[in-house]
Structures are given as structure tokens and as C-alpha cells.
Amino acid sequence: MVSTNDKIIRVALRNVLDRDLWGCCSESGLPTKIFEELGVQHGAARIDIAVINGVMHGYEIKSDSDTLERLPEQTKEFSAVFDKLTLVVGKRHLYDAINIVPDWWGIIVAKIDANGKVFFQTIREAEDNQDQVGVSLARLLWKEEALQILEEQNKAKGVRSKPREFIYQRLANVLDAETLKEKVRDTLLVSREDWRSDAPLILNGG
């Protein structure tokens, strides 16, 4: 069987996500956007594909041509942020990867058929993440965006001139987990239309 690489998996996965999300979101009415290379933790790590569709679902690609050297640290960084996570992995790395990512991560195997086309096999579905960290979520925002949310909550006093980390920490302390996630999702949907995103999918005005 032909080995996979990042590019062919990414293109095929993006096509599948575009198709599936157009269908489900036309029915649900949820605003949706797909990002590629979305940075987390101030850019310490980048998730290959992130989907915002009522929840934030991250997809990390590890093709047959990749190594798993960075996966343990990426797992930690991504698990602090996303509502759900799925590893899309080449067959070569499947069994090693299963032992690295948490049980609640989804796992999809990417293979190439006899005609040279990528196809995906779901090993397990992603479950809800119980390990999110508020300040890590807040770091998805730009400093000005986080400060604006604090202003709306009348909680900006004392941090307006502080470094961004003070602002993110205040935001995580002020808002409950669900409200914080909602604010972050809504902000990303509105303000990241062209930011490191390849032809983002936007429905219902985004």
C-alpha cells in the first residue's frame, strides 16, 4: 500500500469536512468555519485543521511520512483548548499513536486505495474533552479581543495596561467555562475570516 503524506491527507480531509459540514450546517443553522494551522498557546503549537461548529473540534494529522516525536507535547497543548480532538494518522503510526493520545481523542486512519485516492477509516469517535483549561482557551483570542470581552463584563479595571497574560487570566477567572467557550467561538467566527485559513467555510453570515 502506498504511503501517505501530510499534503494528500490534508486535502482529502478538508474536502470531507467541507462536504459534511455544508450538509449538517444547512440543516442546523449553526455558523461554521474551518481553519488550517490554527495556533494555540501563543503559537506554541498549531493544530492542522480546526472546525468551529457549535463546538471546537481539532484534527491533527500524522501521515506515514511524519514522525510522532512532537505528538506527546501537542496532545497536551491541544487538550487544554479544544472541545473535541481527532488524530488522523497513517497506518504506519496507528498502534503507536493509540498509546500516546488520551482515550477520548478520536482516531481516523488514512490510507490510499489502489486508484491512488485517500480514504478514511474511523477507529473511534471523539468524545467530549473534560480537560480544558480556561486560560488556554482565552489565549486563542488576541489581546484586544479579550480586553473587549472584559469591558463588556465591566471587569477590565486594573488590567487594561497589563501584559496580555494578565488579561487572559482575568478573563478565565471572570467567566464560567461554558460562557468562555462561547465567547471564544463567537469571536473566532467573526474576526478570523482570512487569518491562516484556506477558503473558510462560513454559513448563515458567519
pLDDT value at 191 more than 80: no
Tell me the percentage of the chain whose pLDDT exceeds 90.
Answer: 77
Per-residue pLDDT, 25: 55
* Structural domain total, the chain: 2
Three-state secondary-structure class, residue 71: helix
Give CA–CA dist 200/138, Å, rounded: 22
Per-residue pLDDT, 150: 97
**pLDDT, the chain, mean:** 88
Per-residue pLDDT, 54: 87
| Each residue's pLDDT tens digit, 134-157 | 999 999 999 999 999 999 999 999
Residues 152 and 63 in one domain: no
Query: Within its chain, how far is the Cα of 191 from the centroid?
Result: 16
Give CA–CA dist 65/189, Å, rounded: 33
**Which span out of 66-70, 112-116, 201-205 was modeled with the highest average pLDDT?**
66-70
Residues 87 and 143 in one domain: no
Residues 75 and 32 in one domain: yes
Residue 201 lies in a domain: no
CB atoms within 10 A of CB 196: 12
Q: Do residues 46 and 40 lie in contact, with contact meaning Cβ atoms separated by under 8 Å?
A: yes
Per-residue pLDDT, 199: 35
Residues 116 and 45 in one domain: yes
Residues 63 and 141 in one domain: no
Pure H helices in the chain: 6-28, 71-79, 94-98, 134-138, 143-152, 164-174, 177-191
Domain that holds residue 113: 6-124
